[in-house]
Amino acid sequence: GEAEPLPLVRRHSDNASLVPGWVFVHVPKTAGTSIWDALGPSYTDSGRYPEIEFACMKHNPPRDHVRNSFGIVREPCDRLVSEFAWGKNQAWFDTYYEDFGVVKAWPPTCEMFNGWVRAVLRRYAERSDVEDCH
């Protein structure tokens, strides 16, 4: 017969260790918020797996393969456009205008988007602590 599916990982009400089961690995801008909402308020957001040390609390990638895990992926260009649309409304986004000369136009233009992509890649090559954690 078929193996019984594992239950989703949930934190006990007494904050004990995680119950064995499926682990959601959140890749930013790939419907993660919707997945978290579907999993419900008892689904833990931290301590899910050993993480790579990074500047974020919520989006640190796993250090190694996470057994019994699942994630959502997205077409890379669509994900990049989504990141841009989300990020342009964040306060830290102004650093791209100020430090990298990204054109600031409303509504956003292709020139603004392309300048932002070049600036993010340049900044990441210089130092990997890009503050949007995505």
The per-residue pLDDT for 117 is 92
- Cα–Cα–Cα angle for 125, 128, 27, nearest 5°? 115
The per-residue pLDDT for 7 is 53
> Higher model confidence: residue 82 or residue 124?
82
Residues with Cβ within 8 Å of 64's Cβ and at least 6 positions away in sequence, in order, are 49, 50
Q: Which of 43-47, 75-79, 99-103 has the lowest mean pLDDT?
A: 43-47
The per-residue pLDDT for 16 is 35
The per-residue pLDDT for 56 is 62
The per-residue pLDDT for 67 is 84
Percent of the chain beyond pLDDT 70? 70
8 Å CB contact between 32 and 72: yes
DSSP class of residue 24? E
